[in-house]
Homo-oligomer: A and B are copies of this chain.
């Protein structure tokens, strides 16, 4: 745990020091939240939708963020091209939101098995569904209803570990408590707030922040740094919130004030 904490401090501080740009191809609902969360932790944002721009971004950045929400027809080319290029030249974080809905999303996510992400970020149902889609578990469990999970984080542990082993990266499962795994080490991170489920975009923006940290460190440390940052800032924000919208404001405020030390001091346990 000591090494993990040191890596977390360094990741948090390196992002503040270097301001890495983590470009995104993401949904229209929470795009502003993703960008503001990325900037709040010290990174920089750039959202693109044209096929050639996705490829350029995957070359010039260390890590990009792909979120398959609110697909439009042209997203098919853009996301596939960017994921492929990122797989070859850099890395990408995948948020398989709404997995199971629609032909285009199913094709995109299935194809990504050939050029997998370095980090997968999802709720329990999404993680289980992706592990099933890629044939990594043969469980019949896991169901998705829009962005809402119908499974517990605990029930997705095996799927998360299988996915991480397959990709050689990390997986983070978001829920009441969160787990982050690289297939060998699995850590549970505590904190956060029940308000996370009562605003839109806490999951998406966490994925975008994973990409920011993954620009300066390994996938496991990056996924844990992002998860811890959310848990610490969420806990702070809940104290000040008078409802869902003031929670979101207080959360982004807290995120914008976090140092590497704060991220490392989040309550964690190794599973």
Q: Which residues of A contact B (CB under 8 A)?
A: 21, 23, 27-33, 35-36, 39-40, 44-50, 52-53, 56, 69-74, 98, 101-105, 145-148, 198-201, 241-246, 248-257
Contact = CB atoms under 8 A, between A and B. Distances in A.
Given A101-B56, A102-B52, A47 B27 contact: yes
Contacts of A56: 101-102
A71 B49 contact: yes
A254 B244 CA distance: 9
Those 4 A-B pairs whose CB atoms lie nearest each other, nearest first: A243-B253, A245-B252, A46-B146, A244-B256
A36 B200 contact: yes
- As for how many copies of this chain the complex holds, the number is 3
A226 to B, nearest CB: 17
A246 B39 CA distance: 14
B254 A249 contact: no
B252 A249 contact: no
A20 B160 CA distance: 28
Given A31-B29, A72-B72, A199-B36, A44 B244 contact: no
Contacts of A49: 70-72
A72 B70 contact: no
11 contacts: A35-B200, A40-B198, A44-B145, A44-B146, A47-B70, A48-B71, A50-B71, A50-B72, A50-B102, A50-B105, A243-B253
B243 A254 contact: yes
Contacts of A30: 32, 35
Nearest to A54: B102
Contacts of A102: 48, 50, 52-53, 56
Nearest to A244: B256
